[in-house]
Chain A
Amino acid sequence: MTTALTSKVYDVDDFAAAQEFYHSNGWTDGLPVVPPTEEAVAACLEWALMPPDMLIGIEPVREQPITAEKLAINAVMAGCLPMHFPIVTTAWQAMMKEEFLMHGVTSSTGGAAVLVIINGPIRREIGANSTFNTLGNSDRSTAVIGRALRLALINLLDARPGGIDRSTLGHPGKFSYCIAEDEEDTTWQPLSVVRGIPEGVSAVTVMGAMAPRQIMNEWTKDPREILETFAAEMRANQRHYSIYGGNYAIIIPKQLRDHIQDAGWSKRDIAEFIYERARIRRAEWTDVGKGAVVRDRGETVHTALASPDDLLVVAAGGPAGGFGAVIAPWFGSKTKAVTAAIGACVDCEPPKG
């Protein structure tokens, strides 16, 4: 395959000089980067069977074309190996869907990050860890994939702090915010299957997401009581951050997951319960200092989810601890989570028989 790269080339003296060169040009997230050499960039493209000029998509608001070559350069800088690259390109395709509203997610003062959730066999191929420390520094693969998305946002869409990125605060997920679902240790359907991707197909889901809000309830085995704690955190987010409904993700680690599964609850049962419980009256804003915008609509009920389908239920997290996490949307339904199948491995699978 032709791998003639067309990006501008620079010669730097050594690894340390490369760091100073990239930092001084504003091309990093502040951490060291892997120098994107021709060999490393070409290896990513070869792995994904993509020519350098392949158009991954066009950012719909500012009409910026995104090519495989440019994504590969940023992926290498983030520390990606070739096997990570198809996830990066698929996530970018998902982010460029109109309903994701990438421009808003990445430029808003609200300071959202892009949460990436990986499903399917590719999780095991890349050695993603779905258990201990899942929302932190859990493993190499999820760390570098999440970082690759951010570096590409910085370099391809100018989403730099104070540039296109107008975040007032931001949050640590803007360095990297990527998890893999624990599909082996659950009876639940993978998130991707719930969202319409065939079983056994690798996929990514992207969501414009705020920082995780951790909950704890280790004093019951009743699914209703456990999920009431999650719903309460969502109500808290509605009171303290944004009242408007949208995609929420909830991360349910093994200890709480086992209780819910043992009671026979599916992800759908969880979503329907949460939909009913995660809602507040607009008048509650008066309790938290926001009475000025309640006006004459105090009795209006705002649901955190427009429908149960808006809840992304993810099985992930370490084996012990009665914890879970709620991840709120950037801002209501202005952005929609998008799930996309990872096509490269389907194409490269040898024909059977």
Chain B
Amino acid sequence: MILRVFDPTNERTSAGGKPAPRPVSLKGKTIGFISNGKEGTAGYFGHLDRMLREEFGVADIVFRRKSNYSAPADAHIVDEIKNWQAVVTGVGD
């Protein structure tokens, strides 16, 4: 007997916007780092800071740490993003 069944997933998409245009070059740019604050991310961001400055000519790195590593970035950090040309964030442990 044929069963007619339903899709259990959320077929809608979130209200989030489109990704910002990708920068062609990082030279002379200001890059923001948003860390989740976990111990293991320090080495990663330290290495990335050196690499972006030395190999890609980044002018400035702004480092920010979330107050709660399991929640979205704090509003004041999100507000700062407009001053940066790119942001590096993600899951780190």
Contact = CB atoms under 8 A, between A and B. Distances in A.
Contacts of B24: none
B25 interface: no
Interface string B28-39: 000000000001
Given A63-B16, A334-B71, A35 B10 contact: no
A286 B6 CA distance: 54
A293 B8 CA distance: 44
A21 B3 CA distance: 12
Nearest to B12: A65
B83 interface: no
Query: What size tier do the contact residues of chain B reach?
Result: 20 to 34
Contacts of A66: 10
B4 interface: yes
Contact of B6 (A7, A17, A103, A157): A7
B50 to A, nearest CB: 25
A35 B72 CA distance: 36
A63 B14 contact: yes
A41 interface: yes
Contacts of A109: 93
B1 to A, nearest CB: 6
B72 to A, nearest CB: 6
B76 to A, nearest CB: 17
B91 interface: yes
A195 interface: no
B8 A73 contact: yes
A156 B91 CA distance: 21
Nearest to B1: A14
Contact of A101 (B1, B8, B10, B71): B71
B2 A11 contact: yes
Nearest to A12: B3
Nearest to A39: B4
Among B3, B12, B72, chain A packs the most CB atoms within 10 A around the CB of B3
B70 A334 contact: yes
Contacts of A103: 70-72
A208 to B, nearest CB: 10
A9 B5 contact: yes
A137 interface: no
B5 A64 contact: no
Contact of A8 (B1, B7, B15): B7
Contact of B5 (A18, A74, A101): A18
A144 interface: no
Interface residues of A, number: 46
Interface string A283-306: 000000000010000000000000
A133 B93 CA distance: 36
Interface string A253-290: 00000000000000000000000000000000000000
A64 B4 CA distance: 26
Contact of B3 (A11, A63, A65, A77): A11
Interface in A1-55: 5, 7-15, 17-18, 21-22, 27, 35-38, 41
A62 interface: yes
Contacts of A293: 39
Interface in B12-56: 12, 14-16, 39
A104 B70 contact: yes
A35 B3 contact: yes
16 contacts: A8-B6, A10-B4, A10-B6, A11-B2, A13-B3, A21-B5, A41-B6, A63-B15, A64-B14, A70-B8, A101-B68, A101-B70, A103-B70, A156-B9, A166-B91, A334-B71
Given A8-B7, A12-B2, 19 more contacts: A13-B2, A14-B3, A27-B9, A38-B4, A61-B71, A61-B72, A62-B14, A62-B16, A63-B14, A64-B12, A65-B12, A70-B9, A70-B10, A77-B8, A104-B70, A105-B70, A293-B39, A331-B70, A334-B71
Interface of B: 1-12, 14-16, 39, 68, 70-72, 91, 93
Interface of A: 5, 7-15, 17-18, 21-22, 27, 35-38, 41, 61-66, 70, 73-74, 77, 101, 103-105, 107-109, 151-152, 155-157, 166, 293, 331, 334
